[in-house]
Amino acid sequence: MIQLFHVFRNFGSNVALSDMDLIVGRGEFVFVTGPSGAGKTTLLRLIFGTEKPTSGHILINGINLNRISRSKLDLLRRGIGFVFQDFKLLPRKTISENVALALEVTGMRRSFIRKKTHQSLRLVGLAEKENAFPLSLSGGEQQRVAIARAIVNDPMILLADEPTGNLDSSLTKDIMVLFRSINLKGATVVVATHSQELLRETGQRTISLNKGRIVGEK
Amino acid sequence: MRFRLCCYFIKQALINVISNRVVHVICLGTMVISMLMLAAFLLLFVNLNSWLQECGHSLSISVYLQDGISKNTTNRIASAIKDLPAVEIKSFVSKDSALKDLKRFLGAQAGLIEGLSNNPLPASFELVFRDVEGQHSDLQEIKGDLEKIEGVDEVQYSKERLKQFEGLSSIVRTFGLVVGGLLCTGVLFIVTNTIKLTIYSRRHEIEILKLVGATDWFVKIPFLLEGAIQGVSSGALALLILFFAYSLLCAEKLHFFTIAVLEFTFLPQEYIFMIFFLSVALGLLGSFIATGRFISISRFFDL
C-alpha cells in the first residue's frame, strides 16, 4: 500500500529524511516512533503528498507520487485520512461542519454527509457536541474532532501525527481501539508517536527513526 | 455539475461576501462609481454622436447644373445621384428659385439684380449625407463621381465644417476609449485585490480544503462567483443610478431659449447590456486573476 524507495528529504542543509526504504502492506497497523526531529512528521507528510521528496520515489497504492498530476493527487488525498498534530480545525465552523468538510469536497448528498458526520462524531464520543465550536472544546476533544474528520470518508490509509498527545490514558486507549477497528475494516494505519507507554501496550509493528534514518524495527 | 455542488458554491460565495462585507461594500462602491462614470460617459458619447450625425445630415453638397440642359438630362442626373450610396437629394433648386432666393437674401439691395437680362444663376441639386461616419474619406470620391455625371457643371461642399465635425467625433471617441480603458483597469485592480483579501482571510479554510482532497476548481469557483456577484451588483446599481439621474436631470430635449434644440436620449438597449456584461466580465476576470495567484501560493506549499 505504501512504498518508499531511497527517499531523501532535505530542508536546505538540514537532512530530514535520508535514504529511507519502507514498505507498509495493505491493512497493516504501523507505529513510527523516535525523538523530536527524527523525521516522523516529514515521513507522514511525504506519504500524504503535502511535501515532495528531494529524491527517491513514493508509491501509494501503486501510484508514484512523483508522476501524479495535481488534480489526481487531490483525488488520492480523499482516500487518505490525516490526523494533524495541530488539529487544523476551523474556529468559525461547528465541529459538525469541520468534520463534514472532508465529505463536502466529494460532492456527496447532504443527507449522506449529515449521517456520516454524525456517525463519525459518535465514534469519537462527541455526538452530543456537534453544534459546538472548536474553541469551546478542550484540547483532547479537538483532537477527537480531528480524528473524526480523518475517518469520516472511510479512508484506505489513515495517517496520524501524535494523535494521543493531548489525551489522557483512558481516552488514549479509546482512540487506539477506534484506530484498531478502522484497521480491522481494511484500512492501513500509520501512527507517529513518541509515547513509549502507547508502544509498550501494543504488539504492532514499530519503526524507530532517528535523524531521518530507520534505526530499528520490531 | 451537480445541483448540490452548485448550491454549495453559491452558498460559499454568499458566505464569503457576508463575512467580508466591509471590504465588499467598499469594493462595490468603487465599482459602482467606476461603472457609473463609464456609463455616463457612454451616454454622453452616444448623444454627442447622434447630434453629430444630425449635424452631418445638415451638411450639404451643392451640385450645379450646366445651363440649357433639357428636363430629361436633369432627370438623368437626379437618378444618377440616387444611385450613389453616400448621399441623397434634399431638394432641387431651379434657376428661377435660385434667383428668388438670392433676391430674398439681398432684401433691400435686390434692385441690384433687377436689370439683368438673363438669369446667371445655375439650377442645382442640394444633397445631404446619408451617414456622417466615414464620409470625409470618401468625399473626394463622391465629388469626383458627381462631377463625372453628364450635365453637371460644378460640385461644392463645406469642407471645413465637415472636418470640424469629424475631428470632434474622433476626439470624443479617443477620449472615451482612454477614459473607458483606465476605468476598466481600475475596476479590475479593485476586484482583484478584494478577492485577494477574501482569499487571505480564508487561507486556513483553503489549506484544510486542499488537505481533505478538494480540487483547485472546488476552491476557486466560490471566489469566481464572488467576483461575478460584485460585477452583477455593481453593473445593475450603476445603470439604475444613471437611469434615475437621467430621469431627474434630463428633459427629453435640451432647450435653448425655450426652443427645443437637441434630443437627449437614454442609452440604447445594446449599450445597457454592454455595460452590464462588461461589469460582470470585469468581476469574473478580477477574481480569476486573484485565484490564479492563490494557485501559485498553494503550489509553493505543495498543497
Give me the average pLDDT of each 10-residue run along chain A (218 residues): 91 88 92 90 92 92 89 89 90 93 88 93 90 91 91 93 81 85 91 83 86 87
C-alpha span between B290 and B224 (Å, rounded):
9
| Contact criterion met (CB < 8 Å) for A102 and B212 | yes
Residue whose C-alpha cell is 431638394: B91
Name which of B231, B202, B228 is nearest B214 in CA terms.
Answer: B202
Chain B residues within 8 A of A92 when measuring between CB atoms? 19
pLDDT at residue B294, rounded to an integer:
62
- Looking at the partner chain, which of A71, A102, A149 has a beta carbon nearest the beta carbon of B215? A71
Report yes or no: A78 and B210 within 8 Å, Cβ to Cβ: no
What is the pLDDT, as a whole number, of residue A23? Answer: 93
Count of C-beta atoms within a 10 Å radius of residue A35:
11
Residue B140 scores a pLDDT above 90: no
Residue listed under C-alpha cell 542543509: A13
pLDDT score recorded for residue A112 = 92
The ipTM estimated for the assembled molecules is: 0.87
Torsion of CA A42, A25, A123, A114, to 10 degrees: 80
Q: What is residue B301's predicted lDDT score, i.e. its pLDDT? A: 47
Q: Which pLDDT value is given to residue B55?
A: 67
B216 close to A (CB below 8 A): yes
Between CA A29 and CA B50 the distance in angstroms is: 80
* B8-42 confidence digits (pLDDT tens): 888 888 888 888 788 888 888 888 988 898 888 88
Confidence of residue B293 (pLDDT cuts 50, 70, 90): low
* pLDDT at res. B133: 52
State whether A75 and B213 contact (CB < 8 Å).
yes
Q: Which of B184, B197, B183, B209 is CA-nearest to residue B293? A: B197
pLDDT in tens, B166-179: 777 788 778 888 88
**Residue B212 phi, psi dihedral angles, 5° rounding:** -95, 10
Min Cα distance B6 → chain A (Å) is 10
Helix, strand, coil percent content, chain A, rounded in steps of 5: 40, 30, 35
Kindly report which listed range (A146-150, A167-171, B234-238, B269-273) carries the lowest average pLDDT score: A167-171
The strand pair at A188-193 and A157-161 is best described as parallel
Residue of A nearest to B303 (CA): A50
Instruction: Give the DSSP H or E segment for B227.
Output: helix B216-249
DSSP readout, B259-289?
A: EEEEE-PPPPHHHHHHHHHHHHHHHHHHHHH
Task: Return the CA Rg of chain B.
Answer: 31
Q: Determine the pLDDT at residue B112.
A: 74
Place of cell 498553494: B298
The pLDDT of residue B53 is 67
More confident: B107 or B247? B247
Least Cα distance to A130 among A152, A108, A100, A168 occurs for: A100
* Residue in chain A lying closest to B216 (CA): A71
**What's the pLDDT at B302?**
47
Find the mean pLDDT for residues B149-168: 76
B209 at A interface, C-beta within 8 A:
yes
How many CB atoms neighbour CB B76 within 10 A?
15
Helix B159-201 to helix B135-148 angle, to the nearest 10 degrees? 150
pTM of the prediction? 0.69
B4 at interface of A, judged by CB pairs closer than 8 A: yes
Residue numbers of A between 140 and 159 with CB closer than 8 Å to B: 149
The number of CA neighbours under 13 Å toward the Cβ of A67 is 8
B56-112 per-position pLDDT tens digit? 656 678 889 888 888 888 888 888 888 887 778 888 888 888 888 888 877 777 777
Contact: A50, B211; criterion CB under 8 Å = yes
A50 and B303 within 8 Å at the Cβ level: the answer is yes
- Say if A52 is an interface residue toward chain B (CB within 8 Å): yes
The alpha-carbon gap from B3 to the nearest alpha carbon of chain A, in Å, equals 10
Per the CB < 8 Å rule, is A77 touching B301?
no
From chain B, the residues in CB contact with A101 under 8 A are 208-209, 212
Decide if B107 touches A, using CB distance below 8 A.
no
Query: In a mutagenesis test of the B interface, which of A74, A80, A84 is the best target, namely the one with the most B β-carbons within 10 Å?
Result: A74
Measure in Å the smallest separation between the Cα of A172 and chain B Cα atoms: 24
Q: Which of B302, B295, B303 is nearest to B210 (CA)?
A: B303
Q: Using an 8 Å CB-CB cutoff, list chain A residues near B303.
A: 50
What's the CA gap between B230 and A188, in Å, rounded?
46
Is pLDDT at B298 greater than 60 in this prediction? no
